[in-house]
Chains A and B, each alone.
Chain A
Amino acid sequence: DIVMTQSPLSLPVTPGEPASISCRSSQSLLHSSGYNFLDWYVQKPGQSPQLLICLGSTRASGVPDRFSGSGSGTDFTLQISRVEAEDVGVYYCMQALQTPYSFGQGTKLEIK
Chain B
Amino acid sequence: EVQLVQSGAEVRKPGATVKISCKVSGKIFTDHYIHWLQKAPGKGPQWMGLIHPQHGQTIYAERFQGRVTIVAETSRDTAYMELRSLRAEDTALYYCATGGTTGSLLEFWGQGTLVTVSS
Q: Which residues of A contact B (CB under 8 A)?
A: 35, 39, 41, 48-51, 54-55, 58, 60-61, 92, 94, 96, 99-106
Does any Cβ of A come within 8 Å of B44's Cβ? yes
Residue from B44, B61, B97, B107 in contact with A99 in the complex, judged by beta carbons closer than 8 Å: B61
Q: Give complex CA distance A16, B111 in Å.
A: 30
Q: Give complex CA distance A48, B61 in Å.
A: 21
* 14 pairs of residues in contact across A and B, judged by CB atoms under 8 Å: A39-B104, A39-B105, A41-B106, A48-B112, A51-B104, A54-B107, A58-B102, A94-B45, A100-B47, A100-B63, A101-B35, A103-B47, A104-B44, A105-B44
Question: A92-B45, A106-B44 are contacts. A100–B102 as well, Cβ < 8 Å?
Answer: no
1/0 per position for B51-88, CB-CB distance to A under 8 A? 00000000101110000000000000000000000000
Does any Cβ of A come within 8 Å of B110's Cβ? yes
Does any Cβ of A come within 8 Å of B109's Cβ? yes
Inter-chain contacts of B50 with A (CB < 8 A): 99
Q: Give complex CA distance A103, B105 in Å.
A: 13
Q: Give complex CA distance A11, B47 in Å.
A: 25
In chain B between 7 and 63, which residues have their CB closer than 8 angstroms to a CB of chain A? 35, 39, 43-47, 50, 59, 61-63
- Are the CB atoms of A100 and B45 closer together than 8 Å? no
Q: Give complex CA distance A94, B106 in Å.
A: 10
